[in-house]
């Protein structure tokens, strides 16, 4: 005869401890990483450095240049989460992120009061410097300069090899810092293009003119969809994909693809998908779980039962059944059924 399971109460509840801790100090928490905003500095009309002071739960020593954190804030009673690259972690454990006002969360974050408290994650992501003795090439545009600048600061210190940075920008964010870095480190060559003043974008001819030995370089790229697509075309044509490392921050769908019906199987919901699957679902009033909205985390990962979807970052098309996709970077190319 088997005994019936008995109820075992949780003598210590984390949420209760956090509630009491907040009364003592706004950043105190049992396990959560909370951070107070210590300063906000404009580096262009819509781009801001934000100085954060995290609580004792933040693992500053685990940070590697190029990584990002998830930032969670509450707007109108709803929790929103976005991912931001870390510019640097200071010696006292404080950190600097850079936020471009590209949506309501970023706008709200850049307008918060000094002393406001937000929730953040531990450092995460694998867009970090690889162990290599090869010379390096960095490609950046727009707010992608945040991650690239973080990598660059480490690269110029640890490398004696040639380093080149090609930066396309409309607002010259970090331009002064980059010029100073190039003056301090003779192994860094800085190629700056203000696209408001010069109609210049990344192409193979420009790349091979600026960096003739590009085939010998480790390449790190982060930026707008246009630059990233151009970079991918070039590395594929020159057979350099094994040396290419990238991080995306902007999702752009193919507007030539017609809207397709998408069915969430378990919830018995059907909607038309014109943009990526996450945005299309939200526009239809659905609320699937999500995190970064950039294909970095796996929060919106789910099983595609049937149908064809296009990865808007890589252009790859998945025709298979029962395959894993991420809603935020998937665009329907046919009727699609998803196990949600």
Predicted confidence (pLDDT) per residue in 78-111, tens digit: 778 788 999 999 999 999 999 988 778 889 999 9
Please identify, among 65, 85, 118, the residue that sits at the C-terminal boundary of a domain: 118
Q: Is the pTM of this model over 0.85?
A: no
* Inside any domain, residue 89: yes
Q: Which residue has the higher pLDDT, 271 or 257?
A: 271
Q: Which of 66, 63, 77, 76 is nearest to 33 (CA)?
A: 63
Average pLDDT estimate for 135-156: 94
Pairing verdict, β 188-194 and 163-169: parallel
Number of domains in the chain: 3
Residue 199 has pLDDT above 90, yes or no: no
- Residue 182 is predicted with a pLDDT of 96
Q: Would you state the pLDDT for residue 251? A: 63
Report the C-alpha gap between 277 and 328 in whole angstroms: 6
Q: Within a domain: residue 217?
A: yes
Instruction: Say whether both 16 and 104 belong to one domain.
Output: yes
DSSP 75-132: ETTEEEEEEEEEEEE-TTS-EEEEEE--SHHHHHHHTPPTT-EEEE---B-S----S-
Q: How far apart are CA 338 and CA 119, in angstroms?
A: 31
> Is a pLDDT exceeding 90 seen at residue 77?
no
Confidence at residue 16, expressed as pLDDT on a 0 to 100 scale: 52
Q: Which residues does 292 contact at the CB level (< 8 Å), separation at least 6?
A: 70, 81, 82, 83, 299, 328
CB atoms within 10 A of CB 39: 13
Residue 162 scores a pLDDT above 90: yes
The whole domain housing 43 covers 12-118
Tell whether 224 and 144 lie within a shared domain: yes
Residue 17 has what pLDDT? 59
Neighbours of 74 (CB within 10 A): 11
Ranked by mean pLDDT, which of 54-68, 253-267, 285-299 comes out on top? Answer: 54-68
Task: Give me 52's structure tokens.
Answer: 């954060």
Phi-psi region of 142 (alpha: psi -120 to 50; beta: other; left: phi over 0): left
Confidence of residue 187 (pLDDT cuts 50, 70, 90): very high
Mean pLDDT, the chain, as a whole number? 88
Task: Give 111 or 290, the one with higher predicted confidence.
Answer: 111
Q: Is the Cβ–Cβ distance between 92 and 83 less than 8 Å?
A: no
| 178 lies in the same domain as 150 | yes
Burial class (CB in 10 A: 0-12, 13-18, 19+), 321: exposed
Q: What is the CATH number of the domain that holds 36?
A: 2.40.30.10
Per-residue pLDDT, 111: 94
Cα dihedral 116, 146, 43, 195 sign: negative
Confidence grade of residue 158 (pLDDT, cut at 50, 70, 90): confident
pLDDT at 249: 59
User: CATH number, domain at 165?
Assistant: 3.40.50.80
Residue 26 has pLDDT above 90, yes or no: no
Is there a domain that residue 253 lies in?
Answer: no
SS3 146: helix
315 three-class SS: coil
By the 8 A CB rule, do 329 and 311 touch? yes
- 305 and 236 share a domain? no
Mean local confidence (pLDDT), 25-33: 73
């Amino acid at each position: 005869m088997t005994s019936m399971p008995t109820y075992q109460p949780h003598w210590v509840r984390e949420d209760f401890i956090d509630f009491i801790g907040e009364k003592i100090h706004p950043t105190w928490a049992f396990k959560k990483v909370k951070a107070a905003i210590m300063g906000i500095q404009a580096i262009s009309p819509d781009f801001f450095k934000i100085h954060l002071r995290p609580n004792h739960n933040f693992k500053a020593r685990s940070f590697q240049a190029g990584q990002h954190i998830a930032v969670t804030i509450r707007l109108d009673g709803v929790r929103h989460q976005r991912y931001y690259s870390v510019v640097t972690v200071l010696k006292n454990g404080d950190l600097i992120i850079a936020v471009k006002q590209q949506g309501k969360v970023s706008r709200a974050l850049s307008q918060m009061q000094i002393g406001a408290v937000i929730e953040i994650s531990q450092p995460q992501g694998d867009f970090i410097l690889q162990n290599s003795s090869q010379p390096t090439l960095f490609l950046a545009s727009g707010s992608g300069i945040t991650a690239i600048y973080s990598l660059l600061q480490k690269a110029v210190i640890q490398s004696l090899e040639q380093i080149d940075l090609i930066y396309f920008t409309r607002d010259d964010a970090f331009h002064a810092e980059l010029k100073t870095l190039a003056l301090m480190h003779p192994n860094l060559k800085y190629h700056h293009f203000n696209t408001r003043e010069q109609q210049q974008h990344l192409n193979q001819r420009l790349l091979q003119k600026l960096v003739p030995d590009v085939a010998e370089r480790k390449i790190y790229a982060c930026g707008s969809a246009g630059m990233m697509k151009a970079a991918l075309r070039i590395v594929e044509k020159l057979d350099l994909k094994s040396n290419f490392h990238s991080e995306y921050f902007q999702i752009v769908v193919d507007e030539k693809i017609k809207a397709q019906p998408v069915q969430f199987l378990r919830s018995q919901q059907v909607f038309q998908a014109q943009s990526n699957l996450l945005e299309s679902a939200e526009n239809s009033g659905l609320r699937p779980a999500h995190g970064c909205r950039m294909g970095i985390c796996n929060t919106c990962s789910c099983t595609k039962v049937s149908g064809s979807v296009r990865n808007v970052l890589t252009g790859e098309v998945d025709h298979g059944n029962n395959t894993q996709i991420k809603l935020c970077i998937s665009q329907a190319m046919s009727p699609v059924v998803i196990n949600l």
